[in-house]
Structure 1
Amino acid sequence: MVDGPVVAVRGEAYREVAPELARFRVTASARDRDRETTLTRLAERAAAVRALLDSADVDRRETGEVQVYPLTKRSGERVVAYQGRVTTTVTVTDFTALGELMLRLADQDQIEVAGPWWSLRPDSPVYRQARHAAITDALVRAREYAEALGARVTALVELADSGLNPQPMMTRAAFTMGGAVEDGRPELDLDPQPQSVQASVEARFTISEPVLN
């Protein structure tokens, strides 16, 4: 049981920082009337993607989906062609050559590139900084309320985490096509989207007896 008056406050903090990760998807496709030809082309294009990624500075790549299926006429089950797709998700932390890498991949035959999507690392220190700032804000508010009453904060009674909410401002990058580079290839300039992180806490403090006039 708490003796004396108590002030309850909510502390909040907001941080807007540069992203730490960029992810994009690369999908290799193949289609032909012959199933073996479709599979061969799909394997060759997927291998070309892997070779290009092997030569690039990527932090992680994951094969997320492989699809091979027949295409039939609407009126029946007669197969008219075979379709195949292999999707790879790529994660990078060095953004300097990201646009060039995406263009090089998109320049391959029957390759689709989507993204990038920006984010923070799950263990980013930004989250810890936001939590600490939210606690500081709660304490400042409590002291301000106590001061308005002619009192002072004496002890912490309870502290509860209201949540830490990362809020990317946008899920996709805004990009512009620049002029041609020296070798004649187009240049893709990417603008990483800032990431916002919001933390909040609820706290209860005991205060000294107010001086009420």
Structure 2
Amino acid sequence: MPLVITVRGEHESWHPAERGIVHLSVAIDGPDRSEVFDAAMQSSGRVHALLTQLASNDGAVTRWSSDTVRVTSQRPWNSAGEQLPLVYSATIGYIARFRDFEALAMFIEYVSAVDHTTVALVEWELTDEATREARAEARHLAVIDAYTKAREYAESVGLSEVTTTAIADPGMLADVGSGSEHSGGATQASARMMVAPAAGGPLALNPENISVAASVEARFHAS
């Protein structure tokens, strides 16, 4: 009767970021609704014009989107418990995906100087094609890792023939513990913005590498 060996195989690889996704917003508060709206639209127009230019003719921006302007109002309270006059707030959000990191750094410098504009976050990604390739490789190497483990277990008890009987995504083989949380090839990290200030020079972005990991469960017979 063959010995049943059930193991988990894993692999993780790291890849240079290929896309930078910047999140920014235009936000302004004030007592006059029209003035708040006009100021928000003026700043937003500068951001909109630059993104349109960068996205044209296969430029530095692969795609971008923006919210419509939202205007809200509230009456705040002061420390004495007194309700203050009405305050209006206008906000417009933007998301832009860059292929050119030097252009991204220049864009951040430019919009940071636009009134009422704040860069909230930069995330890093692989292209869709690179992600698919990295996931396929990670799954392949996770299976090899599982088979290698099974052979080592078999050899440790004097067995030499190992036959694969089942390969599954994590959680599909009931007698394998929860173990790693890696899915069958999901991208595990999207790095946040890393900014290196350059003394007297332009802004420098330092994107972290992107982790792509895979985990499989496998069952073998050894004899």
Please give the TM-score of this superposition, normalised by the length of structure 1: 0.82
**Separation in structure 1 between the aligned mates of residue 27 and residue 7 of structure 2, nearest angstrom:** 56
Deviations 1:118-165 (A, max 9, x none): 233455121111111100111112222223333333432111112234
Q: How many residues align?
A: 199
Q: What residue is the counterpart of 1:150 in the other structure? A: 158
Structure 1 residues 108, 149: closer, same or farther in 2, change over 3 A?
same
Give the secondary structure class of the aligned counterpart of 1:59: strand
Number of the residue aligned with 1:109: 115
* 1:130 alignment partner, one of 128, 135, 138: 138
> Does 2:213 correspond to 1:205?
no
Structure 1 residues 101 and 27, CA gap change in structure 2 (3 angstroms) = same
CA apart distance, 1:202: 1.2
**Per the alignment, in what secondary structure is the counterpart of residue 196 of structure 2?**
strand
- Is the 2:154–2:162 Cα contact (8 Å) retained in structure 1? no
The gaps in structure 1 that reach 5 residues or longer are 181-185, 209-213
Distance in structure 1 (CA, Å) of the matches to 2:126 and 2:18: 5
Q: Could you say which residue in structure 2 is the equivalent of 1:95?
A: 101
The Cα shift of 1:179 comes to 3.7
CA contact (8 A) 1:64 1:89 kept: no
SS in 2 for 1:40: helix
Structure 2 partner of 1:175 = 195
Q: What's the TM-score once normalised by structure 2's chain length?
A: 0.79
The 8 Å contact of residues 52 and 105 in structure 1, kept in 2 or not, is answered as no
Change over 3 Å in CA distance of 1:130–1:65 after alignment to 2: farther
Residues 23 and 117, structure 1, Cα contact 8 Å, conserved in 2: yes
Alignment of 1:13-162 (within 5 A): 13-56=11-54, 57-64=60-67, 66-74=69-77, 75-76=82-83, 78-79=85-86, 81-121=87-127, 124=131, 125-162=133-170
Distance in 1, Cα, partners of 2:83 & 2:113: 37
8 Å CA contact 1:11–1:134 kept in 2: the answer is yes
Q: Aligned partners of 1:58, 1:86: CA distance in 2, in Å?
A: 19
Please tell me the residue identity of whatever aligns with 1:62.
S
Structure 2 residue ranges without an equivalent (≥5): 55-59, 171-182
- Give the Cα–Cα distance (whole angstroms) in 2 for the partners of residues 89 and 142 of structure 1: 47
Look up the equivalent residue of 2:111 and give its one-letter code. Answer: L
The match for 2:177 is none
In the alignment, the residues of structure 1 paired with residue 7 and residue 116 of structure 2 have an alpha-carbon distance, to the nearest angstrom, of 58
1:7 and 1:73 map into 2 onto residues whose CA distance is: 66
1:183 maps to what in 2?
A: none
RMSD of the alignment, in Å? 2.3
- The structure in which a higher percent of residues are strand is 1
> Max radius of gyration: which structure?
1
Distance verdict in 2 for CA 1:73–1:130, change over 3 Å: closer
Residues 12 and 138, structure 1, Cα contact 8 Å, conserved in 2: yes
In structure 2, C-alpha distance between the alignment counterparts of 1:172 and 1:92, rounded to whole Å: 15
